[in-house]
């Protein structure tokens, strides 16, 4: 009998080998699509790298920095200029506070405000816009009416009334209150996008197969609106920064010395804008605010590039 080194076609070990190769290729394709391609897009984009670097620096400053830098005291020299002393690299204010220490210890509550406000605004907008656009009918009418009402209410006066009434001190609560009606514009945008998506073939196929509504929204609808969601997440964070700094500067939020807006208010109140010896008191927190806002803008532009289908297709080639 002639021997052969090849197992028969129906050999069980041969079938397992084919299955293993198939599963391995599926995993490789999934990693390529979900990990490698996005990573290449982000790392090859200069704006995204700049945005990530800035935000990582602020996160480290708000976490590790508060452990490494002592809390500011009044033991320092008064109105010392920046870069004149290693102990006070950014100078001091009129009370002898180290401006660098004040900036570092003011960062954690600001990051909490940014995160909570951005998450609240984008989460509410995504839920309302997606459900309204997909369900239609009475549900759409009710949710659209609520959205339109929120759009017609002036944001800043509403926030001023709420914070004056509630007097919040928790950074998370403040962040949510500062975005109490900013979700409405994003909800309208998402609703319009979902209205065009719900009649696509793959969504209709899922509906005909009896797939639950929540699963269709999760698997077929939400991934297609993620570019809008992530970009507006960054924009909501910028809105929280400016609103918080402005309200603290005006004294409408409870006073705390460890806040960028309060530092600006104290500087202006002590004539920092009229003297060259004290101008650094205003410049330092202003630069900190501008840089973090710039980082969020760079990240939002990177997210737009990440979800661009043409860019992703080129990177898969």
pLDDT by residue (tens digit) across 10-48? Answer: 555 445 445 455 555 656 665 555 566 666 766 777 888
Crossing angle of helices 46-63/280-306, nearest 10°? Answer: 130
Tokens of 297: 């803008």
Predicted local distance difference test score (pLDDT) of residue 273: 84
Residues in the chain predicted with pLDDT less than 70, given as ranges, are: 1-39, 41-42, 257, 304-317
**Percent of the chain whose pLDDT exceeds 70:** 82
Spatial CB neighbours of 212, under 8 Å, sequence gap ≥ 6: none
pLDDT of residue 27: 66
Q: How many angstroms separate the first and last alpha carbons of the chain?
A: 50
Q: Give the integer Cα–Cα distance in Å for 103 and 82.
A: 14
| Domain segments of the chain as ranges | 54-316
Q: Which of 41, 49, 39, 43 is nearest to 312 (CA)?
A: 41
What global pTM score does this model have? Answer: 0.80
145-to-71, 125, 202, 299 alpha-carbon distances in Å: 49, 14, 29, 32
Of 100, 66, 70, which is closest to residue 84 (Cα–Cα)? 100
Fold held by 54-316: MetI-like fold (1.10.3720)
């Amino acid at each position: 009998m002639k021997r052969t080194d090849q197992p028969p076609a129906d050999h069980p070990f041969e079938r397992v080998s084919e299955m293993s190769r198939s599963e391995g290729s599926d995993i490789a394709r999934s990693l390529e699509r979900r990990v490698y391609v996005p990573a290449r897009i982000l790392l090859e984009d200069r704006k995204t790298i700049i945005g990530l670097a800035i935000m990582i620096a602020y996160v480290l400053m708000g976490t590790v920095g508060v452990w490494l830098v002592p809390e500011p005291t009044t033991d320092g020299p008064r109105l010392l200029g920046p870069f004149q002393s290693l102990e006070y690299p950014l100078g001091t204010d009129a009370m002898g506070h180290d401006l660098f220490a004040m900036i570092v210890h003011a960062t954690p509550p600001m990051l909490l405000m940014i995160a909570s406000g951005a998450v609240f605004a984008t989460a509410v907008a995504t839920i309302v816009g997606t459900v309204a656009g997909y369900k239609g009918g009475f549900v759409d009418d009710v949710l659209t009416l609520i959205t339109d009402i929120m759009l017609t209410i002036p944001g800043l006066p509403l926030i001023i009334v709420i914070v004056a009434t509630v007097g919040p001190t928790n950074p998370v609560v403040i962040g949510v209150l500062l975005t109490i009606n900013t979700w409405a514009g994003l909800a309208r945008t998402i609703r319009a996008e979902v209205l065009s998506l719900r009649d696509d073939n793959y969504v209709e196929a899922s509906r005909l197969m009896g797939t639950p509504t929540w699963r269709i929204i999760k698997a077929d609808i939400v991934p297609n609106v993620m570019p809008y969601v992530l970009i507006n997440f960054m924009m909501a964070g910028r809105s929280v920064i400016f609103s918080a700094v402005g309200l603290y500067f005006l004294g409408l939020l409870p006073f705390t010395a460890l806040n960028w807006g309060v530092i600006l208010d104290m500087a202006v109140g002590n004539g920092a804008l009229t003297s060259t010896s004290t101008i650094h008191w205003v410049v330092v927190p202003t630069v900190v605010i501008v840089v973090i806002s710039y980082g969020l803008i760079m990240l939002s532009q990177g997210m737009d590039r990440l979800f661009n289908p043409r860019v992703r297709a080129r990177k898969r080639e």
